Amino acid sequence: MALATLPFFARAELPEGPGKLLVEQVCSTCHGTQYLERAQGYDSPEAWRAVMASMINLPEAQAITISEYLATHYPSRPNKKPNLIPGDFDIEIQEWQVPTLGQRSRDPVEAPDGSIWWTGMWASLAGRLDPETGKMEEFQLPKSARPHSIVPDATGFIWYLGNGNGTIGRLDPGSGTVDVFPTTSRDPHTGVFHPNGKLYFTAQHSGMLGRLDPESGALTEVESRARPYGIKVGDNGKVYIAFNGTNAIGELDPETMAIRYFEIPDTRTRIRRLDIATDGSIWFVNSSLGKIGRLNPNTGVVEQWNSPSGPNAHPYALAVIDDVVWYNESGMRPDTLVRFDPASERFQSWAIPSGIGIIRHVWVTKDKNLLIHQSSSNRVGIVRIPR
Ligand code: HEC
């Protein structure tokens, strides 16, 4: 499957040295070389080769020249090293590399039949993985859709949030056919099915929340505060929204679509993802301030804890499993998986094996394991959590 060519951005001036010309030729076909400035950097040619291998297959001689050039001029940045917290909790992390290079796999979910699905946003595809055999299959979605995330419904259809073309789509894994539902927002982002059968979703840059009824196709959209992002349904039936453009968490009434806002202290707070504990409290990542927090939606009281890697840890994805909080520190390299036990207030953390990327969304399986991914290393994975 070919990856569509991405818009060409302004080219950064590269340092002189053997390999410069090759990098300019080979690495700017999909994106500008300013990506090299922004990336974490790596000390060894081998590490650079691993990153490159997720995007492009190169002849051996070119791969050697380019990776040596990059390791010399773009070494790792020490301020990105995580503070890993040891502990006695044991987990097992298994990762799979997905087939199409450069797709930036993300947002894995578990379908009712136990298969794992992911989306390759940059290649507009959805993929299915059999975790028992490792067998994978990719399904092409409309090229302009660029799904930000996917979510299965109770019958096994895979719904995608078409961030690139303002649509929501439903993939039938049996036939590979896709039904498309246009929205009025520009950029559907993350979706969640409510027990009432409807799909609720955020549209980050449009600043909108939506509800789609798959039965009738009826669509309701309302405006919200800036940059609604993560979305989850509580046991109370309310829909909770993380805001990445303001210091708030929203509570959406699933019937009236009225939004109530909880202010989170410090106006610099930005929240990517949240999840809900069994007592109804809302756990969230304070991505911009390097903290995790808990909101009591009955009292509005907020408590926060500093993430082990500090203010630049950039906690991103989050899930609560049996009232224990799991999240990642996406500002660190390697990306880390952190476990926080609210009962003891203790942290423990692990490096993601292929942790050159970022976990942007996690999913809890029926067996209460955690599905993860790394967009830069083109991996999806599972964290097996002993009970
Ligand atoms: C087939 C298309 C393609 C080619 C060719 C390509 N890349 Fe990429 N690369 C991508 C995509 C897609 C992204 C993600 C863009 C984004 O997330 O904004 C990316 C992102 C990156 C990043 C940022 C990674 C991160 O998450 O920090 C780096 C660094 C990078 N590329 C380096 C390279 C180098 C070096 C080469 C040449 C050897 C290369 N790329 C060639 C598609 C490609």
Give the pLDDT of residue 183.
Answer: 97
Confidence of residue 23 (pLDDT cuts 50, 70, 90): very high
**Residue 5's pLDDT band (cuts 50, 70, 90):** very low
**What's the pLDDT tens digit per position in 30-41?**
888 888 887 778
Q: Which atom of ligand 1 is nearest to the CA of 52?
A: 38
pLDDT > 90 fraction of the chain, expressed in percent and rounded: 86
Q: pLDDT digits over 81-108, tens only?
A: 899 999 999 999 999 999 999 899 999 9
Mutate which of 26, 28, 29, 55 for ligand 1? The one with the most ligand atoms within 8 Å of its CB, which is: 55
Residue 377: per-residue pLDDT:
84
Ligand 1: residues with CB < 6 A are 3, 26-27, 29-31, 35-36, 39-40, 51-52, 55-56, 66, 70, 102, 104, 122, 357, 376
| 351 CA from centroid of ligand 1 (Å) | 22
Cα–Cα distance list, 152 to 204, 238, 366 (Å): 21, 20, 13
In CATH, what class is 92-384? Answer: mainly beta
CATH architecture of structural domain 20-79 = Orthogonal Bundle (1.10)
CA distances from 374 to 24, 116, 120, 142, 263 (A): 25, 15, 11, 23, 31
In one-letter notation, the amino acid at residue 175 is S
Q: Which of 35, 62, 328 to mutate to test the pocket of ligand 1 (most atoms within 8 A of CB)?
A: 35
Q: What does the domain layout of the chain look like in residue ranges?
A: 20-79, 92-384
Place of tokens 């929501």: 168
> Given this model, what pLDDT does residue 12 score?
59
- Lookup: tokens for 249: 């968490």
Q: For residues 360 and 106, give the distance between their C-alpha atoms in angstroms, rounded to a whole number.
A: 7
| Closest by CA position to 231, among listed 258, 202, 205 | 202
pLDDT at residue 8 in the model: 41
- pLDDT tens digit string along 255-294? 999 999 999 999 999 999 999 999 999 999 999 999 999 9
